[in-house]
């Protein structure tokens, strides 16, 4: 029942000797979702001991090179490794031309289909779901069309307490009603309250990815209460003017969003190449939002399952 973030790259614009461009893999119960796909992503996937062939969907925030240049090599490698299942790529509409050019030049003999799903949203919007997960896109505020992504487990069906099943001799139909959250009313007028007989087995987990963006008021509402928030922090606070001009965020912006949204934990990245050492970012973050950490290549953050009885 794992829900684990794997950080592959934390650089902005220019890669450095210690940092790769933006890319992350979110592992939800063994299903792998790639978020952004900067150059060098294949190497980082292997270093993190993840399977390239198990990636089932790709989510691209925007069409700047440090977030997309890894797509071409990754798709080629998937083909060489024998992938046959289609792969869904969620990205702004302009990605269609990029994918078309790639397939025209390098797609001959490819045994699977990359399927582009254009993303367009003015507020959080469901774009993909599995049996136990919802994925929403929401607009960010950058120089070009850009989206963030929210990964949220669905509320699980309730469990019925074993002692109630035995005590009241519940039938299969009654158990099903309780699992759906309903009360049970028997023919003799006896009522078995759902609040007493059933319980939610665990708390759904959530992760929000806020790539290149300047701060704006709605963002904290859209990521409110997530267990883990990734928010870019390209610049330290002293570069606030430059951040504003380039439509990026500072450490203070990222921490302020986390505080306002009431998230469980904040992790940052997308560091400016001006700084070979960003350890001083941490003091600026924790002074506003104590539950902050600096993302780094190879970092794994697990969101544990909170079970109930």
Cβ neighbors of 80 (< 8 A, separation 6 or more) are: none
Phi/psi class of residue 94: alpha, beta or left (left: φ > 0; alpha: ψ in -120 to 50)? alpha
Phi/psi class of residue 130: alpha, beta or left (left: φ > 0; alpha: ψ in -120 to 50)? beta
What is the biggest distance separating any 2 CA atoms in the chain, rounded to whole angstroms?
Answer: 75
- CA dist., res. 200 & res. 309, Å (int): 8
Confirm whether 227 is a catalytic residue: no
Nearest to 299 by CA among 4, 3, 6, 2: 6
- CA dist., res. 209 & res. 119, Å (int): 15
Chain-centre distance for alpha carbon 11 = 18
The CA-atom distances, in angstroms, between 64 and each of 19, 37, 212, 295 are 17, 10, 10, 21
Provide the 3-class DSSP secondary structure of residue 19: coil
Catalytic residue among 36, 66, 212, 253: 66
Positions marked active-site: 66
């Amino acid at each position: 029942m794992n829900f684990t973030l794997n950080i592959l790259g934390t650089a902005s614009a220019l890669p450095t000797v210690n940092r790769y461009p933006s890319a992350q893999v979110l592992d939800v119960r063994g299903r792998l979702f790639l978020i952004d796909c900067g150059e060098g992503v294949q190497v980082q996937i292997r270093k993190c001991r993840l399977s390239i062939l198990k990636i089932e969907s790709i989510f691209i925030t925007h069409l700047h090179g440090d977030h997309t240049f890894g797509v071409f090599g990754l798709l080629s490698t998937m083909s060489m490794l024998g992938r046959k299942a289609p792969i869904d790529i969620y990205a702004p509409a302009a990605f269609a031309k990029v994918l078309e050019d790639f397939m025209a030049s390098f797609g001959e003999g490819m045994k699977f289909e990359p399927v582009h799903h254009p993303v367009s949203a003015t507020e959080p919007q469901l774009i993909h779901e599995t049996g136990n997960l919802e994925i929403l896109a929401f607009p960010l505020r950058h120089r070009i069309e850009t989206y963030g992504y929210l990964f949220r487990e669905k509320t699980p069906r309730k469990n019925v307490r074993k002692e109630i099943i035995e005590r009241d001799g519940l039938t299969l139909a009654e158990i099903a009603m309780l699992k759906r959250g309903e009360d049970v009313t028997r023919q003799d007028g006896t009522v078995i309250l759902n609040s007493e007989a059933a319980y939610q087995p665990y708390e759904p987990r959530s992760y929000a990815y806020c790539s290149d963006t300047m701060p704006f008021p709605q963002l904290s509402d859209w990521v409110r209460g997530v267990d883990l928030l990734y928010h870019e922090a390209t610049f330290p606070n002293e570069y606030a003017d430059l951040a504003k001009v380039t439509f990026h965020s500072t450490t203070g912006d990222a921490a302020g969003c986390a505080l306002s949204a009431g998230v469980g934990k904040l992790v940052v990245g997308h560091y400016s190449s001006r700084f070979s050492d960003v350890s001083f970012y941490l003091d600026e973050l924790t002074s506003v939002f104590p539950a902050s950490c600096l993302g780094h290549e190879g970092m794994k953050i697990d969101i544990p399952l909170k079970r109930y009885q």
